[in-house]
Structure 1
Amino acid sequence: MEKETNNAYKAHCLVLSYPTQRHLNPMLEFSKRLEHKGVKVTLVTTRSMSKTIHKEASSIALETISDGFDEGGFAHAESIQAYLERFWQGLLKLPLSEPEILLPGLPPLQPQDMPSLIYDLNTYPAFFDMLASQFSNVDKADWVLCNTLYELEPEVVDWMTEIWPLRTIGPTIPSMYLDKRIEDDKDYGFCIFEPNSDACMKWLNDHAKGSVIYVSFGSLAVLNAEQMEELAWGLRMSNSYFFGW
């Protein structure tokens, strides 16, 4: 690969190295060769390691992450296992100054645009482990069933079908509201909260079509005061009616 004529890079490569000199130096040399071929490279190491590096003049960008032991590194960890756990958490929260989180059908995402259980591992560590483990053997599955429909997000579906044997099975709502194949199927699953459907429907019917925003928090989310205030201001500035669940 070579640089484009306008001096732009064709790709941006993130190079991750375990924070020891015998790992970092070979990765730095490899990064130089990649950049020489026209690939933008960002080399990542820990903050504790970066404080000890006597960096030679190089065009390679250097980003740092926290391994949980920013002052002393590995020597200050209580065990190898404890250090590795904190090290991998740091990688998952990598604070790149030029994020390349690109997903089909979505604009470029900043780290804070991701769900909090991904962006801040300290919020829901158990749920992160549970969700991550669900995909540990996904490559062995005969089918991957997704609650969506192709027309809703074709870019995502096309992208995923190139990776897994994906089939869309949505929207999974009662048949009477969709294809009417199941007679009298009007009830939507279980409800773990006490519903007030009549009041909600009456309130909705008093407003024009398309004038109400529905805010869904889910059954597990816990918002702090700052998040609730930001959400409230966003809803107010929308100049729309809203209700949540």
Structure 2
Amino acid sequence: MISSQEWEDAELLWDFQQMHHEPRQCSVGIGLGSHDLGVADVAADLYKRGLVPLLVFSGATSRTTQERMPRGEAEHYRERAVELGVPAEVILVEPNARNTGENIRFSRQLLEREGVDVSSVLLVSKPYEERRAHATARKLWPDVEIVSASASMTLAEYVDSIGDRRLVLDMLVGAQQRLLVYPERGFMVSQRIPGPVAAAYERLCDAGFTSRVVPT
């Protein structure tokens, strides 16, 4: 059972994890691989709106996706985008990345090999990983502008789509923890964490929503 305080804390983290950028025209759209095909849906919509001329889907498989996406996350994203009307010739597939840092580095390398001039990126992720992805990209690709995008959903809507409240709260706590520990490991730029967000995170940790935290 999730208490009203825990839900309120989760909503604070949910809002903070999103960058609240307005999507705009960029050199390329990059969809970060995961279990969530909604990332491909958003990327396809951005292309069809004329905001990007090219899409890169990046991702291998993980324990979470190896059964659902046996051909690899990036390939399943590509198939989804083509189903939604994106021409196959404007999609590049990066099939090897297994974490957010590799998503960024390998996509950058692929675009360089393809001779694509990149000054800005529409970076598409799950809603609760916008800030983490943005901070990672700023660290690893500092000379381009990063514009974050994800499905426009409330926390309640996202929980309904996943079907597991506790898992989503665990993932939110895990995403928040990475903002705290990854900068010192050189994985992303540091973030200013507002006091109410820090307090909400601590309360959720104390309540045991920690299955997705990394060892420290």
Flag whether TM exceeds 0.5 (same fold): no
Q: Which has the higher helix share?
A: 2
- Alignment TM-score, normalising by the size of structure 2: 0.30
